[in-house]
């Protein structure tokens, strides 16, 4: 297993649309394992492949996490995910993103979704998600389409955040 570097905004790769995975093979399974390790280490509750520079429609989530004493970890890898249903009801979560470090904002999304995807064995699955899991999967599928949570905010808030991140990058280089 390996820790992968996480891209941060503004980075043009985070704006790109990822390509479907053609075949769930050992190379994909290794990427899934490395993404879980990277996500847990960050720590985060989700990670999309493009965040580690791989332009493939693949994401991992675990809203329980490794360090929760009460609950068992619940790692789920979703390959070529497609949302097949969303609830009429919305919910609001304060979102953050490993690619938008140190910024948090409320985002409104459908409260429940159904998503179909291939699992790490290449088998078709369908999941009905609510709560934080539903929010997290939608946040990750946005990444596959080049969308960041700041794109759900007003242009004023978005540009404030992106300008700050750009300034930090320039200072660091
Ligand atoms: O770790 C993460 N936390 C989080 C909190 C609320 C809504 C979405 C997320 S996903 C984020 C990790 C990440 O950036 N995934 O792309
Ligand atoms: Ni994110």
Specify whether the CB–CB gap between 173 and 125 falls below 8 A.
no
Average pLDDT over residues 49-65: 96
The pLDDT value recorded for residue 100 is 98
- What is the CATH code of the structural domain delimited by 12-172? 3.90.45.10
Q: What whole-number percentage of the chain has pLDDT above 90?
A: 92
Domain boundaries, the chain: 12-172
Average pLDDT over residues 105-114: 98
Q: Which of 9, 13, 44 has most ligand 1 atoms within 8 Å of CB, for mutation?
A: 44
CA 52–ligand 1 middle distance (angstroms): 14
**Torsion, Cα of 145, 35, 161, 167 (10° steps):** -120
pLDDT of 173 > 90? The answer is no
The pLDDT value recorded for residue 66 is 74
- H or E stretch including 141? helix 131-144
Which ligand ends up closest to the CA of 149?
2
pLDDT of 72 > 90? The answer is no
pLDDT of 68 > 90? The answer is no
pLDDT of 84 > 90? The answer is yes
The pLDDT value recorded for residue 142 is 99
- Of all atoms in ligand 1, which is nearest to the CA of residue 42? 1
Average pLDDT, the chain: 96
Q: How confident is the model at residue 71 (pLDDT cuts 50, 70, 90)?
A: confident
Residue nearest to atom 11 of ligand 1 (CA): 97
Task: Determine whether 37 is an active site residue.
Answer: no
138 lines ligand 1 (CB under 6 A): no
Residue nearest to atom 16 of ligand 1 (CA): 47
Compute the half-sphere exposure of residue 166: CA atoms within 13 Å on the CB side of its CA: 9
- Of all atoms in ligand 1, which is nearest to the CA of residue 100? 14
């Amino acid at each position: 297993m390996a820790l992968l570097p996480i891209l941060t905004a503004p980075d043009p790769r985070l704006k790109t649309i990822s390509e479907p995975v053609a075949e769930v093979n050992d190379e994909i399974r290794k990427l899934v394992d490395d993404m879980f390790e990277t996500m847990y280490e960050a720590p985060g509750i989700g990670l999309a492949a493009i965040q580690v520079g791989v332009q493939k429609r693949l994401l991992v989530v675990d809203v329980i996490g490794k360090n929760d004493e009460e609950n068992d970890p619940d790692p789920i890898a979703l390959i070529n995910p497609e949302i097949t249903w969303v609830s009429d009801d919305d919910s609001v979560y304060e979102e953050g993103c490993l690619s938008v470090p140190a910024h948090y904002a409320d985002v409104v999304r459908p409260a429940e979704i159904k998503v179909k995807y291939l699992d790490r064995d290449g088998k078709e699955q369908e999941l009905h998600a609510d709560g934080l899991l539903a929010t997290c999967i939608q946040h990750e599928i946005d990444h596959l389409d080049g969308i960041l949570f700041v794109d759900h905010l007003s242009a004023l808030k978005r540009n404030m955040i992106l300008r700050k991140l750009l300034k930090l990058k320039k200072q660091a280089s």
